[in-house]
Amino acid sequence: MEESIKLATLPALYGEAYDEASYVVTVGYGTPKKNQTVAFDTGSDISWVQCKPCVSTCFPQREPLFNPSESSSYRNISCGSLECANLTRSGCSSGILGLGRGNHSLVTQTVKKFGGIFSYCLPSPSASSRTGHLTLGAVTKAAKNISYTPLNLDHETFYNLDLVGISVGGRVLPINASVFSNAGTIIDSGTVITRLPSSAYAALRSAFKRGMSAYQSTPSKSSLLDTCYDFSEVDTIAVPTIVFHFNGGADMEVDVSGTMYGMSRSRFCLAFAGNIDDTDLGIIGNVQQQNLEVVYDTQIGRVGFGPGSCTDDNPPPKNPTPKNSSQRILQLRAVTIYMLIFVWFLTL
């Protein structure tokens, strides 16, 4: 990339077609460049791809494995180097684009070109025609009404946020703020389902159940998602809104596509999970970030949320207006239900 480039945007897609439960971008590696499709992960610092020769079982991928011998810019790194020592297992993947806060992340290494700023919009997997983006540099013009919360700089890699409350159906849940501060909360594009402290999740689940009392509950078949419903007799459902409240006054309203997870054409589950206890780290996963504009500014030290700028070449029918702002309408037949091919993805 030339030094004059201050903005770079890549199409972002849901990775199901690549056997990924995260979101992927296609990046050129080496000289001459060879395209590789990798998951972008705000919880990782190290960027890597699979290379020839594959000395053990490699993860299946569409593009040919990267061949170091064909790149004039490739340099070998010793297995005893700091870079290799920091390369931890990140599940099965064809590669990672590390967007964490550490010294080895792409964000840190390109700070002089892109100012330590990046943003993304993660399209709902149910909208096959929808394309998101990963943008390095200035916030895109399509991003409007962004509200920011300061970063908690306690950890070098993760983007720690001060979550102070949660609303369900327009009502703030009676959760002591210490529940969130004791555990801590990070936002992570590489984690699928949001994890909450156990008592916070119990309060959210109870409020959600009250808001969904008109619908038929059904036993869960998932080891992670425990609150499920059978919608085989309905076409449209009214889902209580869920809003995260952060330090500084920033609010993140979860899109209706990130509130319930479609396990089949009629079975939907609340797309949140509880940690074992209140001391376990909370994680805001990519399902709850869908169709939002999420902005990271590492130089000022803040993360922002706003209406998403994902594009749709074939938009679905517009949802009816709900009776009140505490609900969002989900038209089941206007959505292609997505299911995870591998059940273990839900444990990421």
Which residues are marked as active site?
Answer: 41, 188
Buried-state track 242-280, b at ≥16 Cβ within 10 A, e below 16: bbbbbbeebebbbbbbbbbbbbeebbbbbbbbbbeebee
**Residue for token digits 């972008």?**
40
What does each C-alpha distance from 144 to 250, 294, 308 come to in angstroms? 14, 11, 9
- DSSP structure class, residue 273: E
Tokens of 8: 């770079």
d(CA 149, CA 137): 19
- How many helices, marked H, and strands, marked E, lie in the chain? 5, 26
* Distance set, CA 299 to CA 101, 108, 138, 209 (Å): 10, 10, 12, 41
> Residue 180 in 3-state DSSP?
helix
Instruction: Look up tokens 């990339």; give the residue.
Output: 1
Residue bearing tokens 């959505």: 335
Nearest partner of 196 among 252, 270, 274, 284, judged by Cα: 274
Would strands 185-187 and 282-284 be described as parallel, antiparallel, or unpaired? parallel
3-state secondary structure string across 283-307? EECCCCCECEEEEEECCCCEEEEEE
- Rounded to 5°, angle at Cα 221 from 216 and 223: 125
Q: Which DSSP helix (H) or strand (E) runs through 108?
A: helix 106-109
